[in-house]
Amino acid sequence: MKLVILDRDGVINYDSADYIKSADEWRPIPGSLEAIARLNQAGYRVVVATNQSGLARGLFTPDDLTEIHAKMHRQLADVGGNIEAVFFCPHSDADNCTCRKPKAGLLHDIASRMGISLSNAVMVGDALRDLQAAISSGVRPILVLTGKGRKTLADLDGFNDVMVYDDLASMVDALLATEEP
């Protein structure tokens, strides 16, 4: 089973220091939705694992988050793609939960709910916490330079096995090229 786990903000859509608080603020990074569609067409299951501490901070409501994800799913469907599930942590750092990346709880939840092993999965993120969660879960970490990715790359000491790509589209190009006969 082929699984790609994506962080949301900074990987699929533009990020904001002020958080993505509404569907109007959610804007896909050019090429990201088409890249997900290409993964689907190549037989990959795609899920999202995202920290959403804006919920705990009261910056947006669960209904707002649902609307954001509905917009993402609609725009993805328009290009022939599908995200099978969105797993999110609603907590802030102060909550000290097990699901907030860099902890691995969200990824373990994905494995448990989907009834799969994460041993062959990849996780694409733009932040150090995404890479840390992937590594501690036995998932292959991949960094994209969109979102916080350039800053993360500058701080990437000790992460020699992390593949780095300009964006999700270039990562998908490389992943699919390794599968061609």
Q: In the chain, pLDDT over 70 holds for what percent of residues?
A: 98
For residue 28, give the DSSP letter. Answer: B
pLDDT at 181 over 70: no
User: What domain count does the chain have?
Assistant: 1
How much is the mean pLDDT over the chain? 95
What's the whole-number mean pLDDT along residues 19-30? Answer: 97
130 is catalytic: no
126 is catalytic: no
pLDDT recorded at residue 155:
85
What's the whole-number mean pLDDT along residues 31-54? Answer: 97
Q: Residue 69 belongs to what domain range?
A: 3-177
What's the whole-number mean pLDDT along residues 133-143? Answer: 95
User: Which one of the listed residues 7, 15, 126, 167 is annotated catalytic?
Assistant: 7
For residue 71, give the DSSP letter. Answer: H
pLDDT digits (tens, 9 = 90+) for 70-96: 999 999 999 999 999 999 999 999 999
pLDDT recorded at residue 145:
97
Strand 122-125 relative to strand 3-6, pairing:
parallel
pLDDT recorded at residue 89:
97
Tokens 């804006």 belong to 54
User: Which one of the listed residues 9, 15, 130, 167 is annotated catalytic?
Assistant: 9
Separation of alpha carbons 35 and 27, rounded Å: 15
CATH code: domain of residue 50: 3.40.50.1000
